[in-house]
Amino acid sequence: MKKLFTLFLIIACLLTCHACQQDDEDRWPPDDKRTLEVFVYYRQGNEMRVDYGAKIYLYYDCEELYNLTDFDEYQGNGLLMKDGEPITPFCGAVLVTDAFRTLVDKDRTVSILVESAVQDRITWTAFPSMGIDTPIKLTWILNEGM
């Protein structure tokens, strides 16, 4: 009985090690990606509310454009102009849940533009390529009356 129990333990250990190896192969996020989460809120009185309907646009490789003053014009719907050339997003979404979640390339600079649905306001930020899969988590809180 002891031999059977020992054999059972050895088999269980081997199966467990194999399962760990399989988890590494099915890695999430994939090796070339990192997760991005964008939360957009606005203040109304003392309450914070989700800015449902806010538009979120993602751009790759706009290294020289780290803030909105670097652009000549924002034409809406994610279209930016710089020196007469259009800069278009690779991804656009409308905030319909508490956050926008996606995967982005970890080896490329990613820039995020948010256009509020509640206020006539846009905001922008950029994250340099880091070659690491550290998640990006952004939270914007827009103030009432801005």
Q: What pLDDT score was predicted for residue 41? A: 95
Tell me how far apart the alpha carbons of residues 35 and 59 are, in angstroms, rounded to a whole number. Answer: 15
83 phi, psi to nearest 5 deg:
55, 40
Tell me how far apart the alpha carbons of residues 79 and 57 are, in angstroms, rounded to a whole number. Answer: 9
Burial (CB count within 10 angstroms: exposed 0-12, middle 13-18, buried 19+), residue 118: middle
Q: Mind listing the pLDDT tens digit for each residue in 12-69?
A: 544 444 444 445 556 666 788 989 999 999 988 889 999 999 999 999 987 665 666 7
Q: Are 79 and 86 in contact (CB under 8 A)?
A: yes
Domain 30-142 falls under CATH 2.115.10.20? no
Q: Mind listing the pLDDT tens digit for each residue in 86-129?
A: 988 998 999 999 999 999 998 888 889 999 999 888 888 888 88
Residue with tokens 């990006």: 136
Q: Provide the mean pLDDT of the chain.
A: 80
Residue with tokens 């533009």: 113
Does residue 128 have a cis peptide bond before it, meaning omega lies within 30 degrees of 0?
no
Tell me how far apart the alpha carbons of residues 106 and 98 are, in angstroms, rounded to a whole number. Answer: 24
User: What one-letter code names the amino acid at 99?
Assistant: A
Half-sphere exposure at residue 26, Cβ-oriented, CA atoms within 13 angstroms: 6
DSSP bridge pairs for 87: 80
